[in-house]
Amino acid sequence: MSEIPSSQSTDATLSETDRTNADQPPRRRGLPLIGSTLSIARDPLGYLESASEYGDVVAYEAFGTEFALVFDPDAVESVLVSRSDQFRKGEFETNFGDLIAPGGIAFTEGEQWRRQRRLLQSSFTPDRIRSFAGKMATEAAALVDGWDDGETIVLQDALSTYTLRVLSRTLFDLKREAPRSSAPASGDLPRALEDDRAETVRRAATALDNYASPGRLALGSIVPSWVPDRAEREYEAAMADLEALVADLVAQRRSVDDGGDDLLSLLARAEYPDGSRLSPAEVRDQLVTFLFAGHETTATTLTFACWLLAGDSAVQTALERELEAVCGDREPTFTDCDALVYTEAVVREAMRLYPPVVGLYREPRRGTTLAGYRIPAGTTLQLSVYGIQRDGRWWSAPETFRPERWLTGGDDDSGRTLEPAGDRPEYAYFPFGGGPRHCLGMRFAMTELQLALATIVHHVEFDRVTETLEPSLGVTLDPGPLEVRVRLR
């Protein structure tokens, strides 16, 4: 297990661990009635990190729910893959889904989920990703173009604007949409209207992040509120606007089938086997789910990757060399991705140290055992991506940023040693989950991340302005307002 700083101990100590009953997982005790809720609301990431000291499966209670944190890669494989039919997402996650998008694919179960997955995965085939990649690269070039030499930027702000623009262009394709009149079917939407629509999507994404923050939800679970707070009011207003926009766009796409390949066109045209179509509310739920799943996750990964690069000139130089060898003077494109192996290694390593999705939630359909421990029905399993990906049993120098560990053999010119994956369990690394419910946008995300990073490094170098990284747990792992200075190359 990786070393846990003592300052991160919260409401319990090791001596309080209940090891009396061999088939119960060790328990981390909190306060009477509210369990560990306050500790988690105060410092969710610290709580999760320090819990790994108790064992590979650790029970605790919070938000009125019984949790079991899992730090064992083989148990993760069992839950996500080989015994996946014995587990469902469970109440903790569906309660969250009910707040933002009850019918969204990330929250549904059984036949409804299968039908949605079949329908939606046709938007994420390699051909579709290739057709989206041009927009990803164009937006990345526009992002870098807006930076001046010597300018200080807040990485997360800049990069979440970037990922939102990519999502808007590929999922909603606001630019392509023609007005209802007889105007041409593509590309001629008046700029102001396009900006207006993009602003509606941006406001919805921001309101979603503020509304669904774990700190807010945690406090809500112990201090019930009958009066909506500001975040809730803003969320409801932003969602009403988004719903109106989606209804309008769906109607337009149904009236003119111009063969558009964005996700909204697919959803607008899709038919169930009985010939019925998705209602605007169903379409809205999917789009909100994609905003939720695909926006901050990629922005956060890019933020961590850029900040890590800014502090490591050897990695920055190795990346630049690779880009020069593969692309020369031209901009990176989709066809370069296979050859940009070091760029991919940087992305993977950033996601190992700072996985945007810190833990996955599952609930056993009935009482079961896991890693030799009894897990009663109603327990919420929390599979710790963050803990496992930093565990010294599977990773050498687990806290060190070392992209080379992802390269297979050969000399990477940096003089650093390569790490054989060897006997590391497969689920020692699972930033995109695994099994039937693995991330639907994984290929989309990896292409976007590789292209954005390559384009950025092609044009600029970074120096750190913020020296210390103190991530916290937001909807995704939150890097905070990290600043870097831009040097144009």
List interacting residues with ligand HEM (CB under 6 A): 105-106, 117, 289-290, 293-294, 297-298, 301, 356-357, 360, 431-433, 437, 439-441, 444-445
* Nearer to ligand HEM among residue 245 and residue 360 (C-beta): 360
- 3-state SS, 369-382, equals EECCEEECCCCEEE
Minimum separation from the CB atom of position 105 to ligand HEM (A): 5
- To ligand HEM, the closest distance from the beta carbon of 53 in angstroms equals 24
CB atoms within 10 A of CB 117: 14
The residue count of the chain comes to: 489
Nearer CB in complex with ligand HEM: 405/437: 437
**CB-wise, 168 or 298, nearer to ligand HEM?**
298
Residue 193 to residue 197: CA distance in whole angstroms: 6
The CB-of-342 to ligand HEM minimum distance in angstroms stands at 18
Alpha helices in 78-154 (DSSP H): 91-100, 110-121, 126-145
- Quote the Cα angle for 203-204-205, to 5°: 90
Distance in angstroms (rounded) separating the CA atoms of residues 379 and 88: 11
What is the C-alpha separation between 407 and 403, in angstroms, rounded? 8
Tally Cβ neighbours within 10 Å of residue 204: 26
d(CA 84, CA 78): 7
Helix (H) or strand (E) holding 68, with range, is strand 65-70
The 3-state DSSP class for residue 152 equals: strand
Cα–Cα distance, 173 to 263 (Å, whole number): 8
How far apart are CB 278 and ligand HEM at their closest, in Å?
15
From the CB of 200, what's the least distance to ligand HEM, in Å? 19
Q: Between residues 323 and 475, which has the closer beta carbon with respect to ligand HEM? A: 475
Q: Show the beta-strand stretches assigned E in 430-469.
A: 460-464
Tokens standing for residue 241:
């606007």
Nearer CB in complex with ligand HEM: 88/402:
88
- In the complex, minimum distance from the CB of residue 444 to ligand HEM, in angstroms, rounded to a whole number: 5
Minimum CB–partner distance for residue 314 and ligand HEM (Å): 24
- State which residue, 10 or 380, has the beta carbon closest to ligand HEM: 380
Which residue, chain included where needed, has tokens 């909807």?
475
Instruction: Report the C-alpha gap between 383 and 72 in whole angstroms.
Output: 8
C-beta atoms surrounding 378 within 10 Å: 13
Of the candidates 340, 358, 437, which has an alpha carbon nearest to the alpha carbon of residue 104?
437
Bridge pairing between strands 65-70 and 380-384:
parallel
In whole angstroms, how close is the CB of 23 to ligand HEM at the nearest point?
27
C-beta closer to ligand HEM: residue 54 or 361: 361
Beta bridge partners of 62: 65
CA 353 to CA 304: how far, in whole Å? 9
In the complex with ligand HEM, the residue whose CB is nearer, 174 or 360, is 360
The CB-of-242 to ligand HEM minimum distance in angstroms stands at: 16
Nearer to ligand HEM, 439 or 473 (CB): 439
Pick between residue 93 and residue 248 the one whose CB is nearest to ligand HEM: 93
Phi, psi of 62 (to 5 degrees): -160, 155
Query: Residue 451 corresponds to which amino acid?
Result: L
**Smallest distance, Å, CB 188 to ligand HEM?**
26
The residue number with the shortest CB distance to ligand HEM is: 441
